[in-house]
Amino acid sequence: MAAETGKVDLHKRPVKCPKCGAQLEVPRSTKATFDSRGFVSCKLSCQHCRTFMTGIIDPFDGALLVSAE
């Protein structure tokens, strides 16, 4: 199941770190990665506690849903 890439718009999305609770503004990449189920996925890290996170963009409302790795 290879990931595909495509162009997406550059909007900042607010997201809360699941570990420390810090509020982050995450810019969307110009290249999106799609997982095997068709969700746009991303990897990022918290600027405050350095926790690595993975996330998907909810196709219904565009919210970025994250979890700590």
Residue with tokens 């189920």: 37
Q: Give me the pLDDT at residue 38, please.
A: 83
Name the residue with higher pLDDT: 51 or 69. 51
Segments making up each domain of the chain, as ranges: 14-24+43-69
Residues 2-43 have pLDDT tens digits of 444 555 445 777 888 999 999 988 776 656 688 888 888 888
Q: Which residues, at least 6 apart from 65, have a Cβ–Cβ distance to it below 8 Å?
A: 55, 56, 57, 58
Residues 49-60 have pLDDT tens digits of 999 998 888 888
Is the distance from CB of 5 to CB of 32 less than 8 angstroms?
yes
